[in-house]
Amino acid sequence: MNTVQHFQIAADLHTHTVASTHGYSTVTEMAQAARETGVRLLGITDHGPAMPDAPHLWHFHNYKILPHEICGVQMLYGVEANIIDEFGHLDMDEQELSFCEWVIASYHTGCVQFDRTPALVSQGYRMVCENPLVDVIGHPTTVMFPFDDEPVLKCIREAGKLVELNESSLQWKKGALEQARVFYALCKKHEIPIVLNTDAHFAGLVGKTPISEQLLRDLDFPKRLIRNLDPDWVAETALKKRKLLSPH
């Protein structure tokens, strides 16, 4: 089995800029950092509008003015949309999401009101998998949103979605690393593809995933299931997403 030893992700597909005001770097600063760390494709995915400090929707509408290469790094402009209830609804509708080239769907505590039981969180994940515009389920191993791992993973696999391994969560969220050991062992068991992202809110963190790398080594995780290690997959994915976008 071709498993993780040491690697550099070819794409960092979850990062935030100063447009989300708890981010601290500009788009250009993030691209410069990506180039320095060997990242070929950078996803800019500022928070959707349910987050208290999210950018205005016009931020996403205006992505068209941004170049698709900065500092020699290919750029992909998207959103980390918020799952806002137990029915998998997002804080951006189909029209709003159509401005975005990459869509991560995540739960955040400040964006939901329902009782976060495993049954209801699981239902939300299952239903968000039915949204064809969602590419990735974001940071699913935070303890604030418990869910039934294997049934949800079955839905993710059947829907063709990716699961994120989020470096920031492993570093900063209490209990996330312990949850991740169980969850990504199940991803390995059921051959669920993942993407390894930093969720960087500062340029100095782009492309750096030491905690995630160690976890994957400990699990003897197959490299073929880590989609953003493959530069060809990254380039093809970016091109496909752009072709699917409606003209604005």
Annotate 204-234 with b (16+ C-beta within 10 A) or e (fewer). Answer: ebbbbbebbbebbeebebbeebbbbbbeebb
| For residue 6, pLDDT beyond 70 | no
Q: Residue 233's pLDDT is what?
A: 83
Ordered by where they begin, the domains of the chain are: 11-244 (3.20.20.140)
| For residue 246, pLDDT beyond 70 | no
Mean residue pLDDT across the chain: 93
| For residue 57, pLDDT beyond 60 | yes
Residue 145 CB neighbour total at 10 angstroms: 22
